[in-house]
Amino acid sequence: AQTVTQSQPEMSVQEAETVTLSCTYDTSESDYYLFWYKQPPSRQMILVIRQEAYKQQNATENRFSVNFQKAAKSFSLKISDSQLGDAAMYFCAYRRYSGGGADGLTFGKGTHLIIQP
C-alpha cells in the first residue's frame, strides 16, 4: 500500500517570504501522480499543483513550484512571495497511474500554513 508522510504539522512564514512544505511517500509503483492540495477553513479541497512521476521537469504554477526527487521519494512544495490568502491546510497526495485514469487519492496528514502579516 502507498503511504504519504508530511512531517511538519505546522509552518509559519512572513508575508512576501518563501516557504517550503515537505512530503515523502512510499510506493512500489514506477508511474504515478503526486499532488498538493490546499484546504481553507471552508473545507473545500483545491488543487494547487500536480506532478507526473515520468516527467523529470519540476512542475510550476505561478508562485507555486515543486522539488520532485523520485529516487528519494520526496515531493516538496515551495511557495514564493507568500500572501495572506495562502494560509490554509496543505495536503500532499498520491495517485497511481492506472489504465482507467481514475483511482482514489492517498493523502498525508497535512501541514497547517500560517502567514504572518
Partner 1 sequence: GAGVSQTPSNKVTEKGKYVELRCDPISGHTALYWYRQSLGQGPEFLIYFQGTGAADDSGLPNDRFFAVRPEGSVSTLKIQRTERGDSAVYLCASSPHSSSGGSYNEQFFGPGTRLTVL
Q: What are phi and psi of 112, to 5 degrees?
A: -85, 115
Nearer to partner 1, 5 or 14 (CB): 5
101 touching partner 1, by CB under 8 A:
yes
Burial state string for 32-60 with b = 16 or more CB within 10 A and e = fewer than 16: bbbbbbbbeeeeebeebbebebeeeeebe
Determine the Cα angle at 50 with ends 18 and 54, to 5°.
Answer: 115
Q: Which residue among 30, 56, 62, 100 contacts partner 1 (CB under 8 A)?
A: 100
Q: Nearest-CA neighbor of 94 among 83, 105, 110, 80?
A: 105
Quick note: the x/- pattern for partner 1 over 21-60, rule CB under 8 A, is ----------x-x--------xxxxxx--x-x--------
Nearer to partner 1, 38 or 73 (CB): 38
Determine the Cα angle at 49 with ends 48 and 50, to 5°.
Answer: 140
Task: Give me the least distance between CB of 71 and partner 1, in Å please.
Answer: 22
Question: Looking at the chain, how many residues does it have?
Answer: 117
Nearer to partner 1, 18 or 60 (CB): 60
Nearer to partner 1, 24 or 80 (CB): 24
Residues in touch with partner 1 (CB under 8 A): 4, 31, 33, 42-47, 50, 52, 91, 93, 97-110
